[in-house]
Amino acid sequence: MIDLKGKNALITGSSRGVGQQIAKALTKLGSNVIVHGRTLESCSKTLEVLKDADVKVYCVYGELSDKKQVNELISQVRSLEIPIDILYNNAAIMTTFHNDYWNHSWGEWTDTCKFNVVALYDLCGAFIPAMIKNGFGRVVNLTSGIKDLPELAPYSASKWAVDKITYDLAIKLKDTGVRINTLDPGWLRTDLGGENADHPVEAVLPGALAPALIENDGPNGEFFSAIDHNLELNI
């Protein structure tokens, strides 16, 4: 495992849930973190959680289904004038569970794809080139083990697209110090996963950190499972 002390990590959707857990854990490993939420106010809970962290903590905000706000979010990050070493594309939305699985609207499809796929693509494009130039980067795109549920078709299809983007980008990063992989956090009791999920949100750790801790010649374009990964960390 590599040392992440002093690295700068941007975690989308870190105002709560899985993203908040990852942000907390990274600060304990010495990483500076950039918290992201839809609004400035939405970041307040995570900022409160991290107030005693012995690292630098920043906040950026923006709605990921809106192109203008994604561009503004990228500008906010760049205005910090720090290199982005670690990018967790964690934020995602899920459509309504339709028992009539032919009833997903065009709006549900387009909003889900814009938020879960296109924004992720834009963020990768904004920060990976500098990672390549700097000789180091870890990009973790959150995917899902969801399957056999056409009732959630827009969400599951968007995560399939995330997988495909990740695997294709990995080919371009093969001979660089940048590693890009997918991470399945597991079925967790979050706003997205619901109260009937198998695991508490805290179960995402320490496995969720595994793809950030790999060596420069480590896994690339591969799948990680937070729940199943055998990672021992004192955090």
CA distance 19 to 123: 16
In this prediction, residue 229 has a pLDDT band, given cuts at 50, 70 and 90, of confident
188 in a structural domain: yes
Q: Which residue segment(s) compose the domain that 162 sits in?
A: 8-225
The answer to whether the CB of 226 falls within 8 A of the CB of 183 is yes
- For the stretch 124-156, pLDDT in tens is 999 999 999 999 999 999 999 988 999 999 999
Read off the pLDDT of residues 16-34 as tens digits, 9 standing for 90 and up. 999 999 999 999 999 999 9
> 104 with 151: CB under 8 angstroms?
no
Q: Identify whether 233 is part of a domain.
A: no
When divided into structural domains, the chain yields a total of 1
Whether 55 is covered by a domain: the verdict is: yes
Evaluate if residue 8 carries a pLDDT over 80: yes
33 forms beta bridges with 9, 57
> Would residue 3 count as lying in a domain?
no
Summarize the confidence of residues 151-177 as an average pLDDT: 97
Residue 31 domain-assigned (yes or no): yes
* 225 bridge partner residues: 184
- Residue 179 CA to residue 156 CA, distance in Å, equals 24
Report how far residue 8's alpha carbon sits from residue 26's, in angstroms, rounded to the nearest whole number.
9
H/E element, 8 = strand 8-11
> Do residues 29 and 17 touch, judged by C-beta distance below 8 A?
no
User: Residue 135's domain is classified under what CATH number?
Assistant: 3.40.50.720
How far from chain centre, in Å, is Cα 150?
24
pTM: 0.95
Output the pLDDT for position 208: 97
pLDDT of 53-64, one tens digit each?
999 999 999 999
